[in-house]
């Protein structure tokens, strides 16, 4: 890949009415980096994800995926260009099995959206890729179970599977461990690391244990600006971050043994 960065935000701004919510964000993420986006409630993290994934159009500024402008494009176009996003609310099909949910994701990426009924039975490549995904997310024993009958943590695993099914190189996850127990969370961090090897990952996260367990770098968003973008150790030591946001959260995470 010739582009220097997998994802780049340049002077990105977003207003809602007269209120400026994203206030000039610059961020450059190298291919293969895992980034946690943190910040107080209402800082603009979800808005930033919406701008990157095409759900919102920036008021000004640029978003580049592998060097190509994607701001202004539709979410499915951005998806086709190699960026895939999962949401806080699961968007899997409850009445389809694990296998069927994943195969939908694979087929979509292969471009069979409108004709796939005709091809289902003999799509050996899609089926093989689907079986591989099931193993990756550890749901072999739930292969034929309807999504609605999975546990919450299994549904989240399936959702990660659907998110990566299309082979996107850049993955956005919105609070992937929200609502999980501590044991489920630590298992899930390993799963995310495992399935995103070689990919670029951005995750919005409130749980500092997850942040420090997962991220190569942390972007701290406060009041619509990125006030720090650095390694976990450097962010932890950053006085401005401590003051604006992180002090007590880091102390909590460290106290919890992270
Ligand atoms: N569509 C919208 N119209 C108007 N204001 C909005 C809209 N979406 C978000 N906002 C406002 O923008 C600000 C940033 O919201 P956003 O959801 O991006 O924050 P966040 O950092 O993701 O917060 P949280 O951690 O609570 O999820 C908030 O003040 C919110 O009320």
pLDDT value of residue 191: 93
pLDDT value of residue 111: 64
Q: 63 vs 21, 24, 57, 120, CA distance in Å?
A: 16, 12, 10, 36
How many Å apart are CA 61 and CA 184, to the nearest integer?
A: 39
Question: What residues does each domain of the chain span?
Answer: 1-82+172-192+200-258, 90-167
Q: Does ligand 1 have an atom closer than 6 angstroms to the CB of 41?
A: yes
Start-to-end CA span in the chain (Å):
35
Nearest Cα neighbor of 97 from 138, 48, 147 is: 147
Q: pLDDT band at residue 256, thresholds of 50, 70 and 90?
A: very low
Nearest Cα neighbor of 243 from 258, 214, 223 is: 223
How many Å apart are CA 41 and CA 64, to the nearest integer?
A: 26
For residue 221, give the ligand 1 atom closest to its CA.
21
pLDDT tens per residue across span 117-157: 555 555 777 888 999 999 999 999 999 999 999 999 999 99
Question: Dihedral of the CA atoms 236, 217, 257, 253 (nearest 10)?
Answer: 60
The reported pTM is: 0.88
- Residue nearest ligand 1's atom 16 by CA: 44
- Residue nearest ligand 1's atom 17 by CA: 46
> Using only C-alpha atoms, what is the Rg of the chain?
19
Is residue 14 pLDDT above 50, yes or no?
Answer: yes
How many Å apart are CA 121 and CA 87, to the nearest integer?
A: 30
Give the percent of the chain with pLDDT over 70.
88
Long-range contacts for 128-135 (Cβ within 8 Å, ≥24 apart)? 129/165, 130/99, 130/102, 130/103, 130/106, 130/165, 131/99, 133/102, 133/105, 133/106, 133/161, 133/164, 133/165, 134/98, 134/99, 134/102, 134/161
Q: Does ligand 1 have an atom closer than 6 angstroms to the CB of 42?
A: yes
User: What DSSP element (H or E) covers 130?
Assistant: helix 124-136
Choice from 44, 89, 210, 223 to test ligand 1 binding pocket (greatest atom count within 8 A of CB): 44
For tokens 């919510």, name the residue. Answer: 21
pLDDT tens per residue across span 55-103: 999 999 999 999 999 999 999 899 989 999 986 556 789 999 999 999 8
C-alpha of residue 71 to centroid of ligand 1, in Å: 19
pLDDT value of residue 115: 57
How many Å apart are CA 159 and CA 246, to the nearest integer?
A: 29
Does 1.10.3720.10 match the CATH number of domain 1-82+172-192+200-258? no
């Amino acid at each position: 890949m010739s582009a220097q960065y997998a994802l780049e935000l340049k002077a990105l701004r977003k207003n809602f009415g007269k209120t400026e919510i994203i206030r000039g964000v610059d961020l450059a993420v190298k291919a293969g980096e895992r980034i946690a986006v943190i910040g107080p409630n209402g800082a603009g993290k979800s808005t930033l994800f919406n701008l990157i994934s095409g759900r919102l159009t920036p008021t000004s500024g640029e978003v580049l995926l592998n060097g190509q402008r994607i701001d202004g494009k539709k979410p499915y176009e951005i998806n086709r260009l190699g960026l895939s996003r999962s949401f806080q609310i699961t968007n899997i099909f409850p009445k389809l099995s694990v296998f069927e949910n994943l195969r939908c994701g694979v087929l979509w990426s292969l471009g069979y959206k409108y004709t796939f009924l005709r091809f289902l039975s003999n799509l050996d490549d899609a089926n093989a890729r689907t079986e591989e995904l099931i193993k990756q997310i550890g749901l072999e024993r739930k292969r034929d179970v309807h999504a609605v009958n999975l546990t919450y943590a299994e549904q989240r695993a399936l959702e990660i599977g659907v998110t990566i099914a299309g082979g996107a190189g850049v993955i956005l996850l919105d609070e992937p461990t929200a609502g999980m127990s501590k044991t489920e969370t630590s298992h899930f961090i390993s799963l995310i690391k495992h399935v995103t090897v070689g990919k670029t990952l951005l995750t919005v996260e409130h749980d500092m244990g997850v942040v420090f367990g997962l991220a190569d770098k942390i972007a701290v968003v406060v009041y619509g600006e990125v006030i720090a973008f650095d390694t976990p150790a450097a962010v932890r030591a950053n006085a401005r971050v401590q003051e604006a946001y992180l002090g007590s959260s880091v102390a909590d995470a460290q106290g919890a043994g992270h």
